[in-house]
Amino acid sequence: MSGATRSDTASVVMLTQTGSPPTPQGSRSLWAEGLKRYRQNTMAVASTYFVLFVAFVAVFAPWIAPYSFDEQHMDRILQSPSWQHWLGTDALGRDMLSRLIYGARMSMAVGVITAVISLLIGTAYGSISGWVGGRVDSVMMRIVDILYSVPTLVLLILVKVIFDSVNLFTHPELRALTGILLALSVVGWVTLARVVRGQVMQVKEMAYVEAARALGSHSLSILWRHVFPNILGPIIVLLTFQIPLNILYESFLSFIGLGLQPPFSSWGVMADDGWRSLRSFPHLMIAPGVAIFLTILAFNLLGDGLRDAFDPQLRGRS
Amino acid sequence: MAVVVLSFFALPIPVFLLWLVGILGGLSFIHYTFSQNLFVYVMKRLAEALFVIWVIASLTFFLLRVIPGGPFDTEKALPPEVIANIAAKYNLDAPLHHQYADYMLGLLKGDLGESYKFLGRNVSQIVAESLPVSLQLGTYSLLLAFLIGIPAGLFAASRHNTWADNAAMIFAIVGLALPSFLIAPILIIIFAFKLNWFEVALWLGPEYYVLPVIVLGTGPAAIIARLTRSSVLEVIRSDYIRTAKAKGLSHQVILYKHVLKNSLIPVLTFSGPLVAGVLSGAFVVEQIFAIPGMGRHMVQSVTNRDYPLILGTTLVFSIMLVLANLLVDILYAYFDPRIKLS
């Protein structure tokens, strides 16, 4: 009996999904409807606020943080949380809260910048591959397959080794960051390219694309005016999943000592600093760990919410 | 409790792998006798895999030779005779294409070259020592992930939209976001420092395996749970399950004989990326627990600019991933007769 009710509700959901006819006003109301669905998802909305909060902290770090990220207080080493230092101090007497706040700046910057760059590369590569098709497509996808055959972290390390020896910049802070940024961007586009290619190939067969072609539109203008608007939803969803992934990989790289170098602060660098003194001072490792955990959780929930709201085809899939 | 957990690791890995290889070999043979499709397919895929590995080996070789600087750059300028000697020892004075040919010939013989840093040690030796450790860590973690993830996903789906479903999915979402350097210190503090059940460093026996394997397996377990759940939910709605219900089959029979079998196919397809994730995650876990695996050697080789070791570990990691993907595709072809082998 309960099974019957379940499938009934399922079919009702299906009806409301496919049954609502596309409104003549076009895409605007589709987005509005998606936004309405998104607002009803409490977890996703809460996550959005959390992500905005972290972004705010990241942007205004110098004004929010009580101390600088590398300011050492040699008389207050490895202190427990107190009113003076809310999260205590580390082995060099640096304020943990300040380092966490500056860490948010680095981690978020790396995550967002690399996700956007990978998105641009991935979209361009995927659309060319999917649009042109044929031999070009198979060669381009073979290249993607080869990149896919190297574990991500291995590829990241390799790319970083190569870029680090090239010495693009002499400024230490820029140099520390460019290696990671380039590595994550070079590595991250591969998945995106695959998905975009699939989407483009699907949309390519649609009647409206054929109509545009019949009217003599140029390929680029069809891509820009008809294909991209229709695959924008999945691309945005992918972007929200790529950001936390890149934040995680940055922290992995920094944790194993091949990413950002101290005294710069990112959550991975802090975790690396903390685990050496785990037995006596566990808060050093727990604090950045919790920060990464909450941020990634929020991004994932946000992405899930966006996908459920704007991409009903994928609803319920993980 | 601790004993139960430890007994999980009593499974000797070589025996387990042998069984796997044996079963797979047997299955291939049986299938081969019925149709030649799979054999041809496997051969084709093997050839492709070899090509991919050759490309990775060549690219990495040239990139690491081209970049400026090296392990022998010191603060003080070395006398030219010393530099010439070093170059001669490591075959760096030969023309680049000769070096490449020598390296490739060595690869065919399983020789990965000599380490720059560990004098007199061959990279193949280092890999031979650390690879079994990494394989154990990875296999146990994947096993744990499947053993927890599949039942959890099935459980959640069979109680769709109840509190149990929600609890299992919250667990999965949390597990997905937990970075290893948050879960590891918590587990270490509870189970090693307070309860003193397990060891926290090195890789010497079952009591050393437990914590790293749990830390590495949590993320994959969460992914598998989510995947299984959504896949089961999709299958439950399909027509043939409705038919089975209409025939009056019991809930249990439907769930285990019809639903589970069909819904595990997406899980199987996802095993390739899963292996890739575990290989990456192992770097961090090996660092935290001071496990002498391949990941740690690769990290050290980067710090030491020990290029032959970087090259060797990259290659072995890639071979592992390529083989895992190959295995997944073959299994996929077995379990889903609907797909065409191409």
State the pLDDT at residue A23.
45
Rounded to the nearest integer, the mean pLDDT of chain A is 81
Band of pLDDT at residue A245, cut at 50, 70 and 90? very high
Average pLDDT (A112-128) is 92
State the pLDDT at residue A46.
92
With 90 as the cut, is the pLDDT of residue B149 above it?
A: yes
State the pLDDT at residue B261.
81
State the pLDDT at residue A286.
87
Band of pLDDT at residue A290, cut at 50, 70 and 90? very high
State the pLDDT at residue B314.
93
Contact at CB, B177 and A271, closer than 8 angstroms: no
User: Domain holding B181: CATH number?
Assistant: 1.10.3720.10
State the pLDDT at residue A249.
93
Q: Which of B237, B276, B287 sits opposite A256 (nearest CB)?
A: B287
Rounded CA-CA distance B259/B248 in Å is 15
Band of pLDDT at residue B6, cut at 50, 70 and 90? low
Residue B244: give the domain boundaries: 123-335
DSSP E strand stretches across chain A: none
Band of pLDDT at residue B121, cut at 50, 70 and 90? confident
| 3-state SS, residue A167 | coil
Residues of B in contact with A251 (CB under 8 A): 179, 181
With 90 as the cut, is the pLDDT of residue A16 above it?
A: no
Contact at CB, A149 and B322, closer than 8 angstroms: yes
Residues of A in contact with B189 (CB under 8 A): 278, 282
Contact at CB, B314 and A154, closer than 8 angstroms: yes
A301 interface with B at CB cutoff 8 Å: yes
Rounded CA-CA distance A278/A286 in Å is 9
Q: Where are the domains of chain A?
A: 30-317
CA–CA min distance A118, chain B (Å) = 19
Burial A79-112 (b: 16+ CB within 10 A, else e): beeeeebebbbbeebbbbbbbbbbbbbbbbbbbb
Residues 275-294 of B with CB under 8 A from A: 276-277, 279-280, 283-284, 287-288
Contact at CB, A286 and B60, closer than 8 angstroms: no
Rounded CA-CA distance B72/A192 in Å is 40
Instruction: Give me Rg for the CA atoms of chain A.
Output: 23
The helix (H) or strand (E) run that includes residue B328 is: helix B307-335
Peptide bond before residue A263 is cis, with ω within 30 degrees of 0: yes
A66 interface with B at CB cutoff 8 Å: no
Pick A30-317's CATH classification: 1.10.10.60, 1.10.3720.10, 3.90.76.10, 1.20.58.100: 1.10.3720.10
Tell me, yes or no, whether B156 lies in a domain.
yes
State the pLDDT at residue B29.
62
**A157-170 confidence digits (pLDDT tens):** 998 888 877 766 77
Overall domain count for chain B: 1
Tell me, yes or no, whether B241 lies in a domain.
yes
Q: Which of A146, A258, A297 sits opposite B299 (nearest CB)?
A: A258
State the pLDDT at residue B152.
92
Band of pLDDT at residue B228, cut at 50, 70 and 90? very high
Structure tokens at A80: 């427990």
Rounded CA-CA distance A214/A30 in Å is 27
Q: Which of B53, B173, B185 sits opposite A289 (nearest CB)?
A: B185
Q: SS3 sequence, B137-172?
A: HHHHHHHHHHHHHHHHHHHHHHCCCCHHHHHHHHHH
CA–CA min distance A239, chain B (Å) = 17
State the pLDDT at residue B150.
92
Band of pLDDT at residue B18, cut at 50, 70 and 90? low
Band of pLDDT at residue A95, cut at 50, 70 and 90? confident
CA–CA min distance A154, chain B (Å) = 6
**A48-85 confidence digits (pLDDT tens):** 999 999 999 999 988 888 887 777 777 777 777 887 77
Band of pLDDT at residue A108, cut at 50, 70 and 90? very high
Band of pLDDT at residue A14, cut at 50, 70 and 90? very low
Q: Which residue of B has its CA nearest to A156?
A: B280
State the pLDDT at residue A247.
93
Tell me the count of A-B CB pairs closer than 8 A. 136
Lowest model confidence (mean pLDDT) among A24-38, A110-124, A267-281, B258-272: A24-38
Rounded CA-CA distance A68/A71 in Å is 5
Answer yes or no: are the C-beta atoms of A130 and A192 closer than 8 Å.
Answer: no
Q: Which amino acid appears at position B11 of this protein? A: L
Q: Which residue of B has its CA nearest to A286?
A: B182
Average pLDDT (B273-277) is 90
CA–CA min distance B296, chain A (Å) = 9
A50 interface with B at CB cutoff 8 Å: no
B65 interface with A at CB cutoff 8 Å: no
Average pLDDT (A218-247) is 86
Lowest model confidence (mean pLDDT) among A150-164, A186-200, B247-261: B247-261
Of B124, B33, B1, B64, the closest CA to residue B307 belongs to B64
Band of pLDDT at residue B56, cut at 50, 70 and 90? very high
Q: Which residue of B has its CA nearest to A277?
A: B185
Q: Which residue of A has its CA nearest to B68?
A: A165
State the pLDDT at residue A173.
65
Q: Residue A218: what are its φ and ψ, rounded to 5°?
A: -75, 150
State the pLDDT at residue A18.
41
Rounded to the nearest integer, the mean pLDDT of chain B is 84
- In terms of phi and psi (left: phi > 0; alpha: psi -120 to 50; beta: otherwise), the region of A90 is beta
Average pLDDT (B300-328) is 90
B53 interface with A at CB cutoff 8 Å: yes
State the pLDDT at residue A9.
37
State the pLDDT at residue A116.
92
A259 interface with B at CB cutoff 8 Å: no
**A264-286 confidence digits (pLDDT tens):** 888 988 888 888 888 788 888 88
Lowest model confidence (mean pLDDT) among A16-20, A273-277, B169-173: A16-20
State the pLDDT at residue A311.
66
Q: Residue B197: what are its φ and ψ, rounded to 5°?
A: -85, -40
Q: Which of B64, B181, B242 sits opposite A289 (nearest CB)?
A: B181
Q: In angstroms, what CA-CA distances link A222 with A200, B149, B153?
A: 11, 44, 42
User: Around Cβ B168, how many Cβ atoms within 10 Å?
Assistant: 22
With 90 as the cut, is the pLDDT of residue B144 above it?
A: yes
Band of pLDDT at residue B31, cut at 50, 70 and 90? low
